[in-house]
Amino acid sequence: MKIRVGTKEDAPAIGRLIATTYRTYNLSHADPEEQDRLLGPFRNAFSDDPRHREAILGVVPSPMLYVAVDRDKIVGVLRGRKNVLASLFVGGAYHRRGVGRMLVERFEKDSRKLGVNWIRVAATLYAVPFYQSMGYKKTTGVRRCHSFEGTDLKQQPMKKRFTKR
């Protein structure tokens, strides 16, 4: 398993990973139409239509993008920017094998090099125990939020502060 910086060329594989993982672990409470709205462009991640591929390319790249790769296959992705962990997905077959931890540790290490001393994340409810195990703390109650055109999603705002080294 290797963590590396993600590139534009990874976007189709990242899109497929996000589509499957998001739908399976985070959207099962919603009906199929709302799931598609919450998925936004990712609902077409398995399409070869150039317009769909372009739409995925419009949402995947991020100032800080990391992928976990197992024998050339992308099995995890973290998208972030300064002070913000925007999204994190690990394929179901790879859960509880330390992949999420490795991605977050790499993001935190590179964030600290930029002088960042805190990171916030709007965690899915599914991921709250994971982030707690990584040292993130709840900052408010659960919030209802939107994702693309969908509105039926709950998130838990969380934050981690780094101690001075």
Ligand X SMILES: CC(C)(COP(=O)(O)OP(=O)(O)OC[C@H]1O[C@@H](n2cnc3c(N)ncnc32)[C@H](O)[C@@H]1OP(=O)(O)O)[C@@H](O)C(=O)NCCC(=O)NCCS
Q: Footprint of ligand X on this chain (CB under 6 A)?
A: 21, 25-26, 87-90, 95-101, 121, 123-124, 126-127, 129-130, 133
Query: Between residues 29 and 54, which has the closer beta carbon with respect to ligand X?
Result: 29
Residue whose token pair is 């090099």:
113
Query: Between residues 25 and 148, which has the closer beta carbon with respect to ligand X?
Result: 25
Count of alpha carbons within 13 angstroms of residue 104, beta-carbon side: 25
Smallest distance, ligand X to C-beta of residue 164, A = 25
Smallest distance, ligand X to C-beta of residue 45, A = 15
Query: Between residues 54 and 105, which has the closer beta carbon with respect to ligand X?
Result: 105
> In angstroms, rounded to a whole number, what is the distance separating the alpha carbons of residues 96 and 84?
23
Query: Between residues 41 and 100, which has the closer beta carbon with respect to ligand X?
Result: 100
Smallest distance, ligand X to C-beta of residue 80, A = 11
Query: Between residues 97 and 159, which has the closer beta carbon with respect to ligand X?
Result: 97
